Each structure stands twice: as structure tokens, then as C-alpha cells.
Amino acid sequence: MLSFKIKPNSPILLLCLLVVVLLSGCSRRKATLDQSKKALKAFDYEMIQITKRLADTEAFEALMLIRRLPGIQLPFITSNDTIAGSGLSTFNMKRANGVYEYHSTDSLPEKISDSDSLIILYKNPKNQSKSYKLIVKSFHETLTDLGMVFPDNLDAEIYQNNHSIGKITLHTKFKHGIPATSDFIVDAGRIKAEIQMTTTFRRKKSNIELKFKLSEAGRLLIKAGIKSDVKKTLSNSLAYDAKNIELEVFPIKVEMTSGFCFSDKISENFFNDFNKNTKITLSDEEGFELGQVKLAQAPGRSRVNLIMYYNDGSTENLEDLLFSVRKILNMKTTMPH
């Protein structure tokens, strides 16, 4: 057996002691109740401001308008075909291609010419000087071995008065009949969203990693990452277990580690089982722990409550404290028919 002797005044010993002190100090750093609430409110303000700036972009305004137009035919919003032998709906670009013009926002579009792309012309009803043109150059979906439809290609661009204001691209590669890599980018000028997905295949179970970034003029606003084990269930679907999630939005970092097994049948004691096997910790940019979050079911309702457990033992429903959380939990998505 090898052994080493370190003198009491050795620089190595002093360095080791310093590291131990720093590590132990970090593990004990707890924010006060006031510090925690101040950081949470700063996070809430940041989320509200990011949402406002995103909604103020010309690209977002144009996309929100077009999805409400009657008779709209677009990928992810409508389907116009089925995949042979499966009966599953899909969007067929060949059937949709052409140049379509909306003369008003309450009338069906008129096809004015043929095209090898899908081109939609429309105006802002509140400002007729704003003319929009959406060009979907390519789109395709693939039937996976699990019987699910997954997009593998999308290339679209939107213009305002012949000036490009946004681009959307998606590229997916498949392996073993399952998405192996996927890159999705929404470029709305100053604001850009990027999603990357990577699947690492193993014999019994695989691992999936998802990365999300939202930036403004090159400055990172939101960063998120998800790592999870994934395996096929008896019903030929995918179950995601052993999750690790990180989310960073100024000035907060959220870290979630969960050993909850979603492969098993969800029991009536879901919230208790999930909380026992999951740890959700919030910290600030200086490394102070703000507290932990647990899930709870709202009495008589199916929605989820996020309960903050502060370091002093007090608790609070984050929906009551944070407008952004309340907005997300109350969000209802409506799609055109």
C-alpha cells in the first residue's frame, strides 16, 4: 500500500483544508426568508419582461395573427393527409403548396397562383400598412417505430413588407426508428430560441438530453436542460424516468433530480410518491439556497400547485406570490379549427 506524509505546514495540506472549508460552507449557505422572496420576485419580474419583449417582436405578432385566420393550412396547426397504413394524420406539403391571399381576416383565402412552396399573404387588420408573407419552403413528418408521427424537416420564413422578420428551421435525424438528434430554431430578429435534442441508445434503456436557450441580441436570457432515462413500455410508448432538470433565469437556478418511475402506472398517491422521490431546489446566482419546491394538488381540482418550502420552515403557494407562475398554470391553448 502506498502512503504519503504531509507536513503540518505543507501548502498541500493548507490547500486541502481550504477546499473542505469552501465546500462545507457552500452546503450550509441558506438564504433568509426575505432574501428568498426578493430573489423570487426578481425572477418573476425578469420572466414578465422577457415575455413582453418576445410578444413585442414583429415575428410573434405575425404568427399570432396567422394562426387565427379562417381555413388556415399550416404544419403543426392543421393536417391534410394521413400516413399510409397507419391512419395517423399528417401535413402534406404537396397538397398545400401554392400562393394564398387573405383579403380580410374573416374570410377564406384565395389561391392566386401555383408554387413549389406554401405562401400565405395577409395583412394586419389593425394596421393595413403591415403586409405579411409567410413562406413554408419544406416540411415533412416521419412515422417512428413506436407508431408516432415526428417532424423531421421544416424550413419557413416570414416577411413584413418584403423584409424578413423571422425564420423557423427544424432538422431531425433518426436511428433505430426513433429520433436521435433534433435541432429546432426560431429566429425572431433580436430574440432567438434554440432547442436541441440528443438520444443516446443503449441495450435496455436509452438516455435523452434536451437543451433550450433563449437569447436576445446574443445575451442569454433563459437556459434549460433536461436529462432523462427513456425506455419502451408494454403499451409500445416511451416512459421517461430518472430525470435531471436545470433551469436558469436571472437571478434563479432551479435544479430538479427525480427518481420517480413514470414507467409504472400512475397511482392515486402520485403527489406523495413524486415528492418522496424528487428534490427541487432553488438557488440564487451567488449560490444561496432559497428553499425547495414540492407539488400539491389543488382541492377538488386536477391542476397542480407549486408549494415553496423556505429555509425557516414556512411555506407558500408560488401561484400566490409569482404572476408568471400563475399565468403559466392558468394558460389555456386554443387552436383554430
pLDDT at residue 24, rounded to an integer = 41
Q: Is residue 310 part of a domain?
A: yes
Contact 252, 272 (CB under 8 A): no
pLDDT at residue 266, rounded to an integer = 65
Q: Is residue 161 part of a domain?
A: no
Q: Whose CA is closest to 311, among 287, 336, 333, 282?
A: 282
Q: Which residues are CB-contacts of 124 (< 8 A; sequence separation ≥ 6)?
A: 61, 65, 130, 132
Contact 249, 255 (CB under 8 A): no
Task: Give pLDDT tens digits along the chain (337 positions).
Answer: 434 444 444 455 444 444 443 444 445 599 999 999 999 999 999 999 999 999 999 999 999 999 999 999 999 999 999 988 888 999 999 999 999 999 998 999 999 999 999 999 999 998 888 999 999 999 999 998 888 899 999 999 999 999 999 999 999 999 988 899 999 999 998 999 999 999 998 877 789 999 999 999 999 999 999 999 887 776 666 777 778 999 999 999 999 998 887 666 666 788 888 899 999 999 999 999 999 999 998 776 667 889 999 999 999 999 888 888 888 777 644 333 3
Max Cα separation, the chain? 87
The two beta strands, 252-258 and 118-124, are unpaired
Question: How far are the Cα atoms of 175, 198, 229 from residue 202, in angstroms, in the given order?
Answer: 12, 13, 10
Q: Is residue 25 part of a domain?
A: no
Taking the alpha carbons of 267, 271, 273, 274 in that order, is the dihedral positive or negative? positive
Q: Is residue 281 part of a domain?
A: yes
**Cα-Cα end-to-end distance for the chain:** 75
Q: Is residue 85 part of a domain?
A: no
pLDDT at residue 134, rounded to an integer = 97
pLDDT at residue 176, rounded to an integer = 85
Q: Is residue 116 part of a domain?
A: no
User: Which residues on neighbouring strands pair with residue 184, listed in sequence order?
Assistant: 170, 195
Structural domain range at position 247: 31-55+202-331
Q: E-assigned strands of 12-117?
A: 81-82, 89-90, 98-101, 110-113
Q: Is residue 141 part of a domain?
A: no
pLDDT at residue 6, rounded to an integer = 43
- The torsion of the CA quartet 78, 84, 88, 92, rounded to 10 degrees, works out to -10
Q: Which residues are CB-contacts of 185 (< 8 A; sequence separation ≥ 6)?
A: 167, 168, 169, 170, 192, 193, 194, 195
Position 7: which residue type?
A: K
Angle at 315 between CA 270 and CA 251, to 5 degrees: 95
Q: Is residue 42 part of a domain?
A: yes
How many structural domains does the chain have? 1
Q: E-assigned strands of 6-124?
A: 81-82, 89-90, 98-101, 110-113, 118-124
